[in-house]
């Protein structure tokens, strides 16, 4: 006869023990299930009671919210939560979902199209800080161009001019300045002619055609005389001369030109241009780089910053 297996006997005992344990715990489980509904109902009743609402109102009206906020800041609770979300990758997922939601896109469109946003952008763009930044950027961008143009003009002047004339502007620098001034005069004449033409069109136009051309030519002459005479007698240099870093002054003094002398020099400029710019040839040989306008008006053209 085979003896009984000890392991089988132990399994039977453990099964019996588990059965007794379940039987002992069953009343507690049954009681918990029976009381759970009652506890939830009682908790809801307590939270919905007016006394509970008054207690919460008094707590929120006191220093509790501020103390809670200070405690959250002191304990770096928000930073810890954000750091944990970032490390787990949940923060990026939440941000992607928020940015990609239709509600967010609609909100952004409404904000950008709002009148308040338009006014805010206008105030920001018209502020003195923005204008100063744009001006500094423009000046910083143009400085290398202007300096390079002046340097090239001076170098070409030294090659073309007579010896010992390094302090005086010669044909290269003066030619570029004259070209810039001619563009400015053309722009002013075109604007004035367009305005006159618009006014004349309201009265039926200017007839005959040759009269319109004559008036346009006379207007250009008047603008040119006023342009050079005004700038030379007040600032000592035209915008083109300022760009190239040269100015005109009397040959014997360092003062400014009188209005009469500036007018004579303007007439001399026209006489130098008419015969194919031959009136500027003397500047190639004169030791002070004087051309026909300078001989007539008794002037010289000098650099604002002469080389040492």
Angle formed at CA 305 by CA 298 and CA 261, multiple of 5 degrees? 20
Please state the domain count of the chain.
1
| Cα dihedral 112/117/119/125 (nearest 10) | -80
In a domain, 288, yes or no: yes
Q: What is the pLDDT of residues 227-286, one digit of tens each?
A: 999 999 999 999 999 999 999 999 988 888 999 999 999 999 999 999 899 999 999 999
CA 133, CA 280: separation in Å to the nearest integer?
Answer: 42
pLDDT score of 227: 96
In a domain, 229, yes or no: yes
Characterize 240-273 residue by residue with b for buried, 16 or more Cβ atoms within 10 angstroms of its Cβ, and e for exposed. Answer: bbbbbbbbbbeeeeeebbeeebbbbbbebbeebb
In a domain, 190, yes or no: yes
CA 267, CA 261: separation in Å to the nearest integer?
Answer: 10
Please answer whether residues 247 and 304 qualify as being in contact, where contact means their C-beta atoms are separated by less than 8 angstroms.
Answer: yes
- Average pLDDT value for residue range 180-195: 90
In a domain, 216, yes or no: yes
In a domain, 192, yes or no: yes
User: What are the residues facing 300 on neighbouring strands?
Assistant: 249
In a domain, 6, yes or no: no
The whole domain housing 233 covers 132-303
Give yes or no for residue 138 having a pLDDT over 60: no
Give yes or no for residue 308 having a pLDDT over 60: no
Q: Count the neighbouring beta carbons within 10 Å of the beta carbon of residue 237.
A: 20
In a domain, 256, yes or no: yes
In a domain, 148, yes or no: yes
Has this prediction a pTM greater than 0.75?
A: no
Higher-scoring residue by pLDDT: 11, 97: 97
């Amino acid at each position: 006869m085979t003896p009984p297996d000890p392991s089988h006997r132990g399994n039977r005992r453990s099964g019996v023990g588990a059965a007794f344990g379940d039987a002992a715990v069953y009343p507690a489980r049954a009681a918990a299930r029976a009381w759970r509904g009652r506890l939830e109902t009682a908790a809801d009743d307590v939270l919905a009671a007016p006394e509970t609402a008054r207690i919460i109102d008094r707590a929120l009206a006191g220093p509790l919210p501020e103390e809670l906020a200070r405690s959250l800041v002191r304990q770096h609770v928000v930073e810890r939560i954000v750091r944990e979300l970032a490390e787990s990758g949940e923060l990026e997922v939440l941000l992607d979902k928020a940015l990609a939601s239709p509600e967010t896109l609609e909100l952004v469109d409404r904000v950008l199209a709002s009148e308040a946003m338009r006014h805010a952008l206008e105030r920001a763009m018209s502020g003195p800080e923005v204008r100063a930044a744009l001006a500094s950027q423009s000046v910083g961008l143009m400085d290398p161009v202007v300096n390079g143009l002046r340097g090239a003009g001076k170098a070409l002047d030294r090659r073309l001019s007579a010896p010992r004339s390094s302090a005086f502007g010669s044909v290269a620098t003066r030619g570029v300045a004259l070209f810039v001034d001619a563009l400015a005069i053309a722009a002013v004449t075109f604007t004035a002619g367009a305005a006159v033409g618009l006014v004349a069109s309201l009265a039926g136009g200017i007839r005959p055609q040759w009269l319109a051309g004559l008036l346009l030519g006379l207007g250009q002459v008047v603008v040119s005389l006023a342009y050079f005479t005004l700038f030379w007698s007040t600032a000592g240099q035209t915008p083109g001369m300022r760009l190239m870093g040269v100015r005109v002054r009397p040959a014997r003094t360092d003062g400014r030109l009188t209005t009469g002398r500036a007018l004579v020099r303007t007439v001399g400029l026209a006489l130098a241009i008419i015969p194919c710019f031959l009136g500027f040839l003397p500047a190639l040989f004169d030791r002070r780089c004087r051309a026909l306008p300078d001989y007539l008006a008794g002037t010289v053209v000098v650099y604002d910053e002469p080389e040492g």
